[in-house]
Structures are given as structure tokens and as C-alpha cells.
Amino acid sequence: MGSERRGHVILGLNVLVLGYVPSAWQTELLDPLDPVRADYWRRIGALAERATLDAVFLADSPSLSDPSYDAGATRLDPTIIWSTVARATSRVGLIATASTTFNDPVEFARRLLTLDHVSAGRAGWNVVTSRHPGVAENFGLPAHIARDDRYARADEFVDVVTGLWDSTRTGDRLRHEGEHFRVDDALALPSSAQGRPVIVQAGGSDQGRRLAGRVADAVFSAELTPQSARAHYREVRDHAVAAGRAADSVSILPGLLLTLGSTEEEARRRSDELHEQGPPAYATAWLSQAIGYDVAGLALDEPFPDDVLAEPADPAAFTGSIGFRQSIVERIRQDRPTVREYLRETRYTGSGHGGFTGTPEGLVDRIESWYRTGAADGFNLQPDRLIDGLEVIADEVIPLLRRRGLFREDYETETLRGHLNAAQGSAS
């Protein structure tokens, strides 16, 4: 499998409310109101901690979502959810997504550092820029902010937030005057138990990767092949070195969509059942949004036309995820499937984020291969249906990883930053 690495695999859980499959709510294991009940979230947090996962992630979008299209249509504020989970847990990291496009950096710096204190140094921030036109409309804008402008604001936003966090340690006021923000302030809070909250970056564009290299502790990436994952891995670490940081200061954590069964046949059957319970048009609607082309108008039994796979005519106007699009297009060009074949195969292999459908043993093989060959430092696991998929991770996947020496027996550190440093083989 390649040369041995120090440390161990980093494992996060991407909590897409009920799971990544839109039909996840159609089970007797859940009540329709569970997504807005504190007990549900405490249960998920306790399960993740029983698995000794490094962190749980929660996405956010300040807009309404269509539940027939979006598997996580219910949007509760992540910092409040994780504050609730913090009371039911003591070790698992708590990473909240927040957009730099429509938040205020002073208010957010205080809010996230508050979560960090109530969780005793377990908070992290998943930095994103809002790209959905519906979000802009919610904030009274006639059109969405251009990608380059969003990332320029994001760079400055992160500098203000980290500067304010650092003010709690140094006692110095942050005096910042930039294109987007003017700040002359210091946070009236104690400093973080972990120095400052962990920063995770989730954008796959060139601007996002540069931002990750400059400021992120980890990257939540979208990868479908180990070849592209290794290229992304090297690129982000090169950006880190260019920014004057150590290459290993940034951990690369691809998302991984999971359907697990005791046999591969059972796992595929579960995947088919869950997908077929959902809206028939879900896959085409998601893929259309992801690549910026109406897939519903394509001939199902023909390969994707070359013009569909070409770069967008106006990249600045493309509202989807650049990282997702690059992964999807690379996979289609490599395998040359028909549209129908691709849509069906994404049930098992993922679309945007990589996917795995099979046994716990096979999943551990996949994790070990990517980890040993420098394609990833770990993964953000995304079960199809969270309520029972997470139990399989805790009871079957984690013990297998431990037997191979890929994961620790128990938590060895107290803070989220400590978990990441220990995993990389660094002092915590």
C-alpha cells in the first residue's frame, strides 16, 4: 500500500440532517419532526462520539430548499445545534458552516468563539461562499455576487475573523480597513482553549484552493478518483508553502457518500430502494445544477456530448460548485458512459463527492488505499440514511480501521485542533 504514515486517518461526519438521500425521512426509525428536535441532534452527536469520530459537520444555507431536490432541506442554525450537542458530548469536534457572503465578520467571530467556549475548545468553522441565486434574493439583491467578488470578500472576512480571535489572546485591538470591512475592535471574550477555532474550507475553485492553502486547517474536498485527489492534495499543500506555512498544516478530507451492507448485493439493494423511494427527477435535477446544463434534454442512451463537458462559456456566471463540476466532468470523460448509465451508477459511486456502496470491509480497503497513497488525510463520511448508517460506522467500520492500525483506540486529545494535530502525527 505504499510507505507507512505517522498518525492516523481523520474521520468526520457530514450531518446532512437525515442523510444524503432525499428519501431518508421515509423510515419508521424517524419522526417527521426529528430534524427540529434537540433530542435527535443529541442522539447523532452521542453516536458520533461513541464512534470516536474527530468531528461532525453541519451545512447551512440561508434560503429555503426544495425537499424533493435537497436531502437536507431543513435549515437550522449550525452554531445553535452544535451548542445543544456540546452538552451531550465531551470530545467530538463541532464544525459549523457559515458563509462569508451574507454574514458579518464581527458578529460571526463572537458567535463561533462562543460555541468554542461552551464546547471547551471543540469548535470549527467550515468557510463557504454562497453561490445560490435564491440566497441573494433573500438578502434583497437583484442578482448574485460574482464568484471573484465573493472570494475577495471571503479572503478579507477570514482575516477579520481570525484577527478578532487573536485579539482575545494578545489583548490588542484589530485595526482593519479594507475594501469590504472596516473594524477597530477587540472581542471581549477569553481566548480559545485550542488557540483559535479550527478553520475548514470547502470550495474547489482556484480561488478556494488558494484560500485553503493560506488559512485553512483542513479542506472538505470533492473527489471521485484517487488521481484527481492526489493532484488536489499537492496543489493545496503547495499553496500552503507559498503562504509561508508548513505543507502538512492543511489536512485534505474528501467527502464520501456511503451505503453499507453485509454483502455488496445487500448494499446495492439498499441503495436502489432508498433512491427509488425519492423523486424520479432528483438525479437529473441535481446533475443539471452541478454541471450547468439541462440534462433532462439529453438522449439517455447516448454519451454526453462534448459541448456539455466543455468549460462554461462564462465561468463567472456559473452558479454551481466548481469542485463538484470538475470531479463529475473528469469522471465522465474517463469512463464515457451514456447519460442513463451515469445517472444509475452515481447511486453506487457518488456524484460530486465520491461514493461507496458495499461492505464495511470494502470501505476500509478504500479508506486505507487513499490514505496510504497520499490521496487524502481522511474523509468526511456521509451515510445515505444517518440514523442507522452512523451505527454501522460506529459498530463495524471503526473497529476494522483500528485492527489495521489506521485509527486510534479512543480519543487522545481534548480539542478539535488537538484531534487534527494528533492524527497528522504532530504534537497536540
Residues flagged as binding site:
60, 97, 151, 205
Hunting for cell 475548514 — which residue is that? 200
Return the sign of the alpha-carbon dihedral for residues 15, 16, 22, 27.
positive
Judging by DSSP bridges, how do beta strands 174-177 and 182-185 pair with one another? antiparallel
Residues 6 or more apart whose CB falls under 8 angstroms from that of 399 comprise none
Q: How many Å apart are CA 100 and CA 60, to the nearest integer?
A: 12
Cα 337 to chain center, whole Å? 27
Q: Long-range contacts for 329-332 (Cβ within 8 Å, ≥24 apart)?
A: 329/291, 330/224, 330/225, 330/228, 331/224, 331/225, 332/304
Distance CA 359, CA 259 (A): 8
Cβ burial of 173 (10 Å; 0-12, 13-18, 19+) is: middle
- Tell me how crowded residue 67 is: count the other CB atoms within 10 A of its CB: 14
Place of cell 470531479: 327
Q: How far is CA 154 from CA 157, 273, 428, in A?
A: 5, 41, 28
Q: What is the residue type of 275?
A: H
Residue 93 and residue 53: Cα distance in Å, rounded?
8
Task: Please give the helix or strand (H or E) that residue 46 lies within, else none.
Answer: helix 38-50
**Contact 218/251 with Cβ under 8 angstroms?**
yes
CB 10 within 8 A of CB 253: yes
Spatial contact of 52 and 123, defined as CB atoms under 8 Å apart: no
Distance in angstroms (rounded) separating the CA atoms of residues 369 and 376:
9
Query: Binding-site residues for FMN, please?
Result: 60, 97, 151, 205
What single-letter amino acid sits at 79? T
Q: Residue 185 belongs to what H/E stretch?
A: strand 182-185
3-state secondary structure of 200: strand
| 62 within 8 A of 135, measured Cβ to Cβ | yes
